Structure 1
Amino acid sequence: MPAFAHSTAKKPFKINPEFEPQTVSYTGYEPGTIVIETGNHFLYLVESAGTARRYGVGVGRAGLSLKGEAMVGRKAKWPSWRPTDNMIRRSPKKYARYANGVPGGPNNPLGSRALYLHRDGRDTMYRIHGTTQPSSIGRSVSNGCIRMINAHVEDLFERVPVGAKVIIQ
């Protein structure tokens, strides 16, 4: 039975069953690796040789997604959020009012959890995070971050340590 999105969603939203977390056959990566296939809107957490936990995700619009390798540099529950300078430049009417940040909580666009992606020891400003817009799962609509249903990112958050390898394709 399809789950309903976290109560922070603005209106009830039925999740497409293909985007529910499930164990699937998956090979080619070390256990503990996160692989994000942006083209088909799935995130895989490799669990063992031959299997992974698969989650549906929302990804960045064309030209805005991070590609290649990164690592989980930090994790946060109910994270605060501030739009990047590039987001404010691209869409000042939408983002300038948030330039001082938004505290963590049910109205924060990062949702209930965030995994901060780092590369070469630096924060990339990209995140794997929850969302207040569950209808964005399965779509390419974000400013580059990987969005998940809050309950799903909470599950991933508990399974993934800081330092985990992330591959974004």
Structure 2
Amino acid sequence: MSMNRRSFLAAGAAASLAACTQPTAEAVTRVPSPVTEPIPPLPAFYGAVEGEPYPVPAVPEGIVPQRLWRQEVDNPYPQEPEGTIIVDPDAGYLHLVLCPERALRYGAGTGAAAFSWSGIARLQYSREWPRWKVPDSMAERRPELEPYTVANGGMDPGPGNPLGARALYLFQNGQDTLYRIHGACEPEHLGKAVSSGCIRLLDQDAIDLYDRAKQGTRVWVLPSLKPQRLGALY
């Protein structure tokens, strides 16, 4: 071993020992806690929705960050045709392309990586206040959902139904992917990956997207680059 290598190893050992030594009180630098910006009042369109067969309550104030509000933005996907829906699960965004320059952006809760789906699909059809029909694979993981499987007729629409006020059904090559864009996202979960792969919006946003999206439109769900994790809800 050369003297240079011996010197390098000795210096590394000394540095390791120094790193494990507790500093004196005078040497400790405390980093101040970050200041949390207050969330401004929500736009009026997040109030209670009238004229629906079931209640759609107002979104509670102070929970949804402003970046996740429905808003028109510069289009980050100008190559996509008008009407295309693009979901970025890592950012927690769903974009609806309005024109090459502009898009409508919604905050979205997405699938936990272990249950997520990505790729190109088509919006086959949409439903108001849909029944929730639990896939057999989910019922196997959660036996308490067995009463709501396809064979058992699913769950009635209305409060408590995880699909909420609207659902958009995604097909690929003519086959149902079993993934949906739907409402009933709890405000505290918006922008996070906690579902079994479905793309969840606030009910107010699901209603708005339902009114705008056209049958047959292209839906592009980007792959998540985050590490896999479990703990999906629906």
TM-score by length of 1: 0.91
Superposed, which structure 2 residues align to 1:10-159 within 5 Å? 12=60, 14-26=63-75, 27-93=78-144, 95-99=145-149, 100=152, 101-131=154-184, 133-159=186-212
Q: Which residue of 2 aligns with 1:2?
A: 42
- Larger gyration radius, structure 1 or structure 2: 2
How much has 1:8 moved relative to structure 2?
Answer: 4.9
Distance 1:84 1:133 in 2: 21
| C-alpha spacing 1:84/1:5, structure 2 compared with 1 (3 Å) | farther
Q: Whose relative contact order is higher, 1 or 2, with alpha carbons under 8 Å and at least 6 apart?
A: 1
> Distance in 1 between the 2:93 and 2:86 partners?
8
* Equivalent pair of 1:2/1:16 in contact (CA under 8 Å): no
What is the Cα-based RMSD across aligned positions, in Å?
2.0
Q: Deviations over 1:73-131 (max 9, x none)?
A: 010000000211111112224x2243331111122110000000011111111000001
Give unpaired runs (5+ residues) of structure 1.
none
As a proportion of its length, which structure holds more strand? 1
How far residue 134 of structure 1 moved from its aligned partner, in angstroms, is: 2.7
Deviation, structure 1 residue 24: 0.7
Q: Identity rate of aligned residues, in percent? A: 37
Q: Distance in 2 between matches of 1:85 and 1:8?
A: 29
Higher helix share: 2
Q: Offset at 1:132?
A: 5.3
Report if the CA contact (8 A) 1:5-1:149 is conserved: no
* Contact 2:98-2:104 at 8 Å conserved across structures: yes
Q: How many residues align?
A: 168
Measured in 1, the distance between the counterparts of 2:47 and 2:188 equals: 9
Looking at structure 2, the residues matched to 39 and 77 of structure 1 have their Cα atoms a distance apart, in angstroms, of 28
> SS state of the match for residue 96, structure 1?
helix
Q: TM-score, normalised by structure 2?
A: 0.67
Q: Secondary structure at the match of 1:80?
A: coil
